[in-house]
Amino acid sequence: MTSFSFEPRGLATAIGSMPQTDPDEACSLVLAHLGEIPPWPSLPKRSFLENMYAQFSEGFPGVVIRGEHIYVDRAQDLDDALAQLYAAYLENKVERYALRPNYAAGLHAFLAKDLGSPIAVKGQVTGPISWGLAVTDQDRRPILYDDILADALAKHLRLKATWQERALSRLSPNTIIFVDEPYMSSFGSAFVSVSRQQVVTLLEEVFQGIEGLKGIHCCGNTDWSVLLETSVDILHIDAYNYGWSLSLYPAEVKAFIQRGGIIAWGIVPSDEDALATETAGSLIQRLEEAMSALAKKGIDFDLLREQCLITPSCGLGPLSPQAAIRALQLTGEVSRQLRSKYAQEATAL
């Protein structure tokens, strides 16, 4: 399996989380609306084990899950567990880091489905910055601030991503794995003490375990130049709320687009009130305004249209089931109308 290239031109996918608790129902909804690049659905309302931090925790040294609380017990002797992790990493023994059905029921239901012939399939893993800041030790100190555990975490998540990608490759040779980093919206604030170099180094460790296309998702505003400094292929942005923010980094975005990078525009809101009022037409207008802001900074508008994906702004897990279905419907409809519009414009030329 090797990285593949394709022309997304407004194809649709999603971040991954869904509010449904039935794995088969969630998979059917994803396939009905996002069949060209279907993502496997994580189901955090089904079980705390499918919470984005618990979901990829199994096998990490010292990790403890009690009820709906996850932490790393540094009071334990972690030497043997760390040695086992590093041995698996060096020998690339990814089977030890498989996602079991009780941690990812949606993934296993997805793997059992007949998907037809999708253009690609999408998976996701929680990123090392967000996992390392959200999960603390027994003294409530984020493990990202422990150099040994932070390094081990990136290697652990790399193994999880590699196993997942291999599993998904049974469905399609073309895989996309997103690294989800919601905590990057706090980068540079007084509440997060992490350097630019640490972010890049830890992300690259995870990326090196991904052979297909690798994406990164941040559902808030951030310093996009940091993420664009990595080898990422797809940058996901909450374009509904922060589409304008990319225009603050024209040089970095231009270089990313020119090297074939893809922007996944999260233009469909993951907010129930907004979902009730928006239409595909209004969202396309909003999207083109964000693209135009970049075009005014010297970035080719046609390239932006060719190298774009359409998604919801964030995961749909917190929504009601009905609102999540509405978001999937809108995502599919925006994608179809956008591609039709651009095809007609190309024909007219």
pLDDT surpasses 90 at 188:
no
- 311 DSSP β-pair partners: 266
Q: Report pLDDT digits (tens) over 284-295.
A: 999 999 999 999
| Mean pLDDT value across the chain | 95
Delimit the domains of the chain by residue range. 11-348
N- to C-terminal Cα distance for the chain?
A: 38
Q: How confident is the model at residue 349 (pLDDT cuts 50, 70, 90)?
A: low
pLDDT surpasses 80 at 330:
yes
Q: Reply yes or no on domain 11-348 having CATH 3.20.20.210.
A: yes
Residue among 143, 126, 229, 134 nearest 178 (CA): 126
- 215 DSSP β-pair partners: 178, 234
What tokens appear for 157 in the block? 């998540």
The 3-state DSSP class for residue 72 equals strand
**pLDDT value of residue 155:** 98
pLDDT surpasses 50 at 1:
no
pLDDT surpasses 60 at 2:
no
Write out the H or E segment, with its range, that includes residue 157.
helix 147-168
Residue among 243, 267, 224, 60 nearest 148 (CA): 60
Q: What share of the chain is helix, strand, coil (3-state, %, to 5)?
A: 50, 15, 40
- Phi, psi (deg, nearest 5) at residue 222: -155, 180
**pLDDT value of residue 242:** 96
Residue 339: alpha-carbon gap to chain centroid: 23
**pLDDT value of residue 342:** 85
What tokens appear for 14 in the block? 């999603």
Q: Report pLDDT digits (tens) over 249-263.
A: 999 999 999 999 999
Q: How confident is the model at residue 343 (pLDDT cuts 50, 70, 90)?
A: confident
Q: How far apart are CA 34 and CA 329, in angstroms?
A: 9
The 3-state DSSP class for residue 321 equals helix
- 108 DSSP β-pair partners: none
The pLDDT of 137-158, averaged and rounded, is: 96
DSSP codes joined into one string, 43-56: -TTT-GGGSTTTTT
- 137 DSSP β-pair partners: 72
